[in-house]
Structure 1
């Protein structure tokens, strides 16, 4: 998962891009980068680290121009090498920079095609560099002579969508031409556009989440539709076109559960409101399972579970208390690359308020349970603080399958619920009882907020991969690549036991 932003302004954009990336920092803490366009030339700075650490005054001064793109990264493909920080740049045709959020499931095939057929060299193992080169190649094919217009760009994007599989959203700038944004035909990864009306004319901002627009003074215009490309030319004119005849909207449910900021609106659904609804449905399930009478107090695992926990407590008529205090200067444990780092970080990140636990039956509410390391540590913290009984509730269903569209949960052995019953997971995290949200209720929580949303990408819960082409052999390769990162393309043990249900490809 990553955060992307592109700005077309009448003023220098370096500060706008920096501020927008700060608002998207929750989407990736591994690396950050900005590329700006000035007088048909690019200036760029990128490095590993948080946004605030990557950019110093001298870096900001070098980022010249009134248009630019930015990226904050957490790697789910490739490596954590600084060479794979984004944006990426290619010098032909015209010169293009690109920032990408998501994951291409056929990037290895495309990389091979780039070398054998398109005569383009890919220098890293990043699928984002592959996407950039596919886009550059298709623009070159579509261009006649030395000029380029919106029709040519949309023709190229249509060809890109025809070749690329996976979940993706991207922003790109073409030197001296304009800014481009586009989204995959299944609408898995989010992308939206905002406008700022000035005396000199409109300015535009494209970003992963609406919070990045509103936080720097842009007015939310709309979401970019699945398979839609938006292009802002040098005259600040906005052009758009659908680039696939088979597009459908299937937003990633995990955006609403965990990834997105609660103050964002994604595809017409307030993230905060969907999390409140998750709490309501979870409360009803707790009642059905006969656990409500055994609860003295409801506590969230800060921060993303707080809305669900508040609404759950209201529905159950139970006291809501903050039992854990979060150290906001520690990174998110879910996206820390390494199990030992995650485990060590929990106690540094959260501290229990002992008086809130002593002698009480406590219901702990978390947004999800992925690996279980954090959950186990938190249950133990509650017991150490004097809790009489610890019931654990997840606002999301059991995470059973790898995610291949840009979320870091790619292998079975890292998923605590895979191959285990709810009772077995409960014992693993040492809770007295465990309640998971039902998948239908999770989807209903989002649809209740925006009834137009009827289909979702929920493969980590149900094993249905909406893009198709995600086979057991494919999952085998990514699992072995994760376990053997220095061995490219290694084949490993069979993964055929996975109960996968690939959907029919729509592209």
Structure 2
């Protein structure tokens, strides 16, 4: 993605089902669980690089011995930092008390994170500053063991204030906007009530039903309880992804299927999807059940997971990204008048590569059909040279754009910084026939268009192409997200900028004022959630008109090549990703009422000149 956006988070959960001596004997190490947790987190490091954290709960500890521990880091390489610090504890025990290493039970007593229940988290900072205090997991301590709770997850909630008011907790500045802090307090509230009334263990299902019925958002959350119980739960729309794997030795859950498959070397069908509204609940004795906590609603799994966020080594995601590119081939062919001879195809590294392969496969299918038709039309009127020339025709592919090392600059002025930004990417010289060739480059999505305008288009123009066509494997991003992605400011979206420009050019600025007035009225009547008013901003224009205006916006001054933009269609998106129909970024069709409230608030902030989040 040329415009990097902070997004998502990664979750890893492991419940060991055997004594530590079992893992030492079978796998050669008492640290089997910690090793697997590290692998799960590293295999999902794409989901969060602002921070990391680990929590562990030990079963059957002696009274007074700490049983719930947590470690967090916001270092430059947070996973490495967390596990280096855990490793340091292990090294000190091995060095100063080597006799203990022969006895798994004693090791458990001396190593804080040698617990049967393990949870890891990777953070992208969608809310708050990037500091250790905001890294997951969060912990709620209590003198009663069963009322200790630690949680982490991949989610955003849009009703944080209401949740804090419900439990009558008023946090300080650090946590007042924290989704997890609010969620933790609500779950703990019902956990404490349940513990007060139960003598024979906790009814975790009841706790989750009471608490999670209050949350408006998309989530994949795990929790470890001091009683030894634990859970993983997914929102009723299935917005955020959730997968699990269970065998006699372990119970595992994570945000990505491929991470589990790689870490535990298991087949695709052995890793299951936790269905919307369901929870994986593990009791203190290691028994588990899949429980329906909330009534499943229309499945709205995040399509951005398939386009960009999740790693592409999952075979289903790989196929879907290939199909996203293939679905664009006819539109691209039409745009270049089927002139493959004078068109070069490339991609903007690195995440658009798979969609690029799909686009090329679609183009090759067309070219092979043309070859057959031409050869058949010759009848017997051809020689070896003519046939060889036809058979050897290829779609022209070159690696045009190269992502250079991550550039840092001491320059703070915008003008100087823009000059430096141009050099984030580099080009391969000598690939384009100046003034003749068209250059088609595919990106997985276009959010702000800033990098295209300030860097990529300028860079590509240096090659001298007659025309530059930027292709997006995603549709136009028109609306903010509030379910786990840091896209909540209307003014950031180049599609919104295009709509505003078109309204002004066509003398329809009254549409803006009318939409703003309607938002203010909805706010006054406390019904800001009732409808997505921002749809009215786009309604006067066709998708093509918006695309053409975007092309103008991302074209810097002084560019010789003509620039066009081609977007994926909504139908093309759904065709490629049929099981992930969450498309509110593109359509404004939010799965929960909180989405409408966020988009309307974001628009009001724009109209009022407030550079702040919509929730």
TM-score range, shorter chain: 0.7 to 0.9
Q: Is the 8 A contact 1:363 1:390 kept in 2?
A: yes
Q: Which residue is 1:467 aligned to?
A: 592
Q: Which residue is 2:158 aligned to?
A: 105
In the alignment, the residues of structure 2 paired with residue 81 and residue 21 of structure 1 have an alpha-carbon distance, to the nearest angstrom, of 19
- Structure with higher helix content: 2
Q: Which residue is 2:84 aligned to?
A: 57
Q: Which residue is 2:180 aligned to?
A: 128
2:360 matches 1:313: yes
Q: Is the 8 A contact 1:189 1:251 kept in 2?
A: yes
Determine which of 135, 143, 161 is the counterpart of 1:85. 135
Q: Superposition pairs for residues 430-445 of structure 1, below 5 Å?
A: 430=555, 432-445=563-576
Counterpart secondary structure, 1:244? coil
| CA deviation string 1:377-418 (max 9, x = no partner) | 212111124434211100011101111111111111100011
Determine which of 348, 352, 365 is the counterpart of 2:427. 352
Q: Is the 8 A contact 1:161 1:227 kept in 2?
A: no
In the alignment, the residues of structure 2 paired with residue 474 and residue 458 of structure 1 have an alpha-carbon distance, to the nearest angstrom, of 14
| Alignment CA distance shift 1:249-1:418 (3 Å) | same
Unaligned segments of structure 1, at least 5 residues: 332-338, 448-452, 491-507
In the alignment, the residues of structure 2 paired with residue 442 and residue 86 of structure 1 have an alpha-carbon distance, to the nearest angstrom, of 33
Q: Which residue is 1:148 aligned to?
A: 201
Bigger relative contact order (CA 8 A; separation at least 6): 2
Q: Which residue is 1:37 aligned to?
A: 57
In the alignment, the residues of structure 2 paired with residue 428 and residue 459 of structure 1 have an alpha-carbon distance, to the nearest angstrom, of 23
Determine which of 10, 13, 22 is the counterpart of 1:3. 10
Q: Which residue is 1:284 aligned to?
A: 330
- Structure number with bigger Rg: 2
Unaligned segments of structure 2, at least 5 residues: 1-7, 19-29, 62-66, 90-111, 365-394, 409-413, 499-545, 556-561
| CA deviation string 1:212-271 (max 9, x = no partner) | 212211534311110101012333322111112243321111111111111236xxxx11
How many equivalent residue pairs?
Answer: 462
| Alignment CA distance shift 1:273-1:425 (3 Å) | same
In the alignment, the residues of structure 2 paired with residue 329 and residue 52 of structure 1 have an alpha-carbon distance, to the nearest angstrom, of 20
Aligned Cα RMSD in Å? 2.9
Counterpart secondary structure, 2:327? helix
Quote how far apart the aligned CAs of 1:121 are: 5.2
In the alignment, the residues of structure 2 paired with residue 134 and residue 417 of structure 1 have an alpha-carbon distance, to the nearest angstrom, of 38
Q: Which residue is 2:601 aligned to?
A: 476
| Alignment CA distance shift 1:342-1:146 (3 Å) | farther
Q: Which residue is 2:46 aligned to?
A: 26
Quote how far apart the aligned CAs of 1:349 are: 4.8
Q: Which residue is 1:494 aligned to?
A: none
Identify the range of structure 1 (404-413 vs 58-67) with the bigger mean alpha-carbon deviation: 58-67
| Alignment CA distance shift 1:74-1:56 (3 Å) | same
Identify the range of structure 1 (97-106 vs 55-64) with the bigger mean alpha-carbon deviation: 55-64
Q: Which residue is 1:446 aligned to?
A: 577
2:338 matches 1:261: no
In the alignment, the residues of structure 1 paired with residue 211 and residue 552 of structure 2 have an alpha-carbon distance, to the nearest angstrom, of 47
Q: Superposition pairs for residues 206-285 of structure 1, below 5 Å?
A: 206-217=253-264, 219=266, 220-264=270-314, 270-285=316-331
Counterpart secondary structure, 1:97? strand
| TM-score w.r.t. length of structure 2 | 0.69
2:440 matches 1:363: yes
Q: Which residue is 2:189 aligned to?
A: 137
Q: Superposition pairs for residues 151-162 of structure 1, below 5 Å?
A: 152-162=203-213
Counterpart secondary structure, 1:287? helix
Q: Is the 8 A contact 2:276 2:296 kept in 1?
A: no
Counterpart secondary structure, 2:221? strand
Q: Is the 8 A contact 2:231 2:281 kept in 1?
A: yes
Q: Is the 8 A contact 2:237 2:277 kept in 1?
A: yes
| Alignment CA distance shift 1:155-1:51 (3 Å) | same
Counterpart secondary structure, 1:204? strand
Q: Is the 8 A contact 1:249 1:456 kept in 2?
A: yes
Q: Which residue is 2:101 aligned to?
A: none
Counterpart secondary structure, 2:594? coil
Q: Superposition pairs for residues 331-480 of structure 1, below 5 Å?
A: 349-357=424-432, 359=434, 360-376=437-453, 377-420=455-498, 421-430=546-555, 432-447=563-578, 453=579, 456-472=581-597, 475-476=600-601, 480=605
In the alignment, the residues of structure 2 paired with residue 425 and residue 211 of structure 1 have an alpha-carbon distance, to the nearest angstrom, of 36
| CA deviation string 1:333-380 (max 9, x = no partner) | xxxxxx999978865653322233453421100000001012222121
